[in-house]
């Protein structure tokens, strides 16, 4: 009996899919694959995560357990820490973290480790795609040699492509399936196979000419946001001196039906992409004797925002005859964005650390984050009660979660500093906005 090619397996829905890294990107991806009837093997270094997935229990907010559990029960999703099972897979997607080191240089060690873990077990006619956000050239310069070291020729024996993740945690409108997927292959054949793979479970696939183009497309998306957020953050600081409400200005500008997209100021950048990705390109650009001055300036402005917030808190307390040292500060929200439990790169943590360094007594309330680790100790979220609000010398809003009783806070707080405009339309001597 003649063995089916990968193209035929994809067309007949007989290909087995693998996902390396079952986090914010990988687990939703695996679920979408399985929902289309594919058998999915999820690879994890964490035994706890693998066990939770196999129990049908989700630890990712965008993946309800009642959506995951039936797929596990049907045998469509299985998690394992045994990377030798990559030999079972026809298509493998790598979804691992790409952080920066202390010098703000790319740390590609997770991608390298993941590739090295699966490479010895790959068979011919297998597709490998990388989704981890990275600098242009990573797929060709790092991942490809690791695969070819096993004796494969990419584009002939095995296929390799880059397709950037576009996950927006908490977004109810756009999720994995209905967010268009950019795909770039190392060769035209790689791109063709990767496109056929993603079309199995993604509504719209957008092929581009190379892995580098796909890698840069993701960086451009996040740099665009980073630069525009830096612009409004800088203008917010100017508006403070000019006694102008920046949120009102942005809302007014948004009424123009063309040529403008609204961005709002805040206490700093958070999440897994925007605070990190621009530095990937800045680092790579130096290899070409090019300095991304505009991007680096935006990064500096955004990085300074937690310091600006602390200065404003200090000034607001001072105007109410209270020193920052010893002041009881109640922080509302430590997640990096509204209505999620994701704390990656959250500016709230930097703000809290700075306040603690200044001698403030800081407590927090977050309905999505029951606790977090600070200086090696577990810090618990406090209940948002009248007594807690009245005890605070300042209530500092760092994340604008919905469902919080802001009316109660406004009624009982001695002083409020609102960095998220949750008290829009309200004005008083005790309410300070950024």
Full 3-state SS string of the chain:
CCCCCHHHHHHCCCCEEEEECCCCCHHHHHHHHHHCCCEEEEECCCHHHHHHHHCCCCCCCCCCHHHHHHHHHCCCEEEECCHHHHHHCCEEEECCCCCECCCCCECCHHHHHHHHHHHHHCCCCCEEEECCCCCCCHHHHHHHHHHHCCCCCECCCEEEEECCCCCCCCCCCCCCCCCCEEEEECCHHHHHHHHHHHCCCCCCEEEECCHHHHHHHHHHHHHHHHHHHHHHHHHHHHHHHHCCCHHHHHHHHCCCCCCCCCCCCCCCCCCCCCCCHHHHHHHHHHHHCCCCHHHHHHHHHHHHHHHHHHHHHHHHHHHCCCCCCCCEEEEECCCCCCCCCCCCCCHHHHHHHHHHHCCCEEEEECCCCCEEEECCEEEECCCCCHHHHHHCCEEEECCCCCCCCHHHHHHHCCCEEECCCCCCCCCCCCEEEC
Rounded Cα–Cα distance for residues 343 and 379 (Å): 14
Distances (CA, A) of 110 to 135, 142, 154, 195, 244: 14, 12, 21, 25, 46
Candidate list 91, 95, 191, 273, residue with the active-site label? 273
Of the candidates 313, 334, 332, 329, the one whose C-alpha atom is nearest the C-alpha of residue 391 is 329
Give the residue from 122, 64, 106 showing the smallest Cα distance to 276: 106
CA distance 299 to 309: 16
- Does the annotation mark 191 as catalytic? no
Q: 388, 363 in Cβ contact below 8 A?
A: yes
Positions marked catalytic: 273
């Amino acid at each position: 009996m003649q063995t089916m090619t990968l193209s035929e397996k994809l067309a007949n829905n007989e290909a087995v899919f693998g996902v390396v890294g079952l986090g914010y990107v990988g687990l939703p991806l695996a679920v979408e694959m399985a929902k289309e009837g594919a058998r999915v093997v999820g690879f994890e270094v964490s035994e706890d995560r693998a066990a939770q997935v196999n129990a049908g229990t989700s630890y990712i907010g965008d993946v309800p357990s009642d959506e995951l559990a039936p797929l596990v029960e049907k045998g469509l999703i299985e998690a394992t820490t045994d990377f030798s099972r990559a030999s079972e897979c026809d298509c493998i997607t790598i979804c691992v973290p790409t952080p920066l080191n202390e010098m703000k240089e790319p740390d590609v060690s997770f991608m390298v480790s993941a590739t090295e873990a699966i490479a010895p077990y790959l068979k011919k006619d297998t597709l490998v795609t990388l989704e981890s956000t990275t600098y242009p050239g990573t797929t060709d310069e790092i991942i490809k040699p690791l695969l070819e070291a096993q004796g494969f020729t990419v584009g002939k024996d095995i296929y390799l492509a880059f397709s950037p993740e576009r996950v927006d945690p908490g977004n109810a409108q756009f999720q994995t399936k209905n967010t268009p997927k950019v795909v770039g292959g190392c060769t035209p054949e790689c791109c063709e196979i990767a496109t056929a793979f993603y079309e199995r479970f993604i509504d719209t696939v957008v092929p581009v000419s190379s892995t580098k183009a796909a890698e840069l497309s993701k960086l451009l998306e996040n740099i665009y946001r980073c630069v525009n957020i830096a612009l409004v953050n800088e203008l917010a600081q100017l508006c403070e001196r000019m006694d102008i409400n920046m949120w009102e200005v942005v809302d007014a500008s948004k009424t123009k039906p063309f040529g403008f997209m609204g961005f709002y100021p805040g206490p700093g950048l958070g999440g897994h992409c925007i605070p990190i990705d621009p530095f990937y390109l800045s680092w790579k650009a130096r290899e070409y004797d090019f300095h991304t001055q505009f991007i680096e300036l935006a990064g500096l402005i955004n990085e300074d925002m937690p310091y600006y917030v602390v200065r404003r808190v200090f000034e607001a307390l001072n105007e109410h005859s209270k020193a920052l040292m010893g002041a009881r500060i109640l922080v509302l929200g430590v997640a990096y964005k509204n209505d999620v439990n994701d704390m990656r790169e959250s500016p709230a943590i930097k703000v809290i650390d700075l306040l603690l360094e200044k001698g403030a007594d800081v407590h927090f309330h977050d309905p999505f984050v029951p606790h977090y680790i600070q200086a090696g100790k577990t810090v618990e979220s406090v209940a948002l009660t009248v007594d807690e609000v009245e005890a605070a010398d300042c209530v500092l809003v760092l994340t604008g979660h919905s469902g919080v009783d802001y009316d109660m806070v406004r009624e009982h707080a001695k002083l409020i500093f609102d960095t998220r405009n949750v008290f829009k339309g309200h004005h008083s001597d005790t309410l300070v906005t950024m």
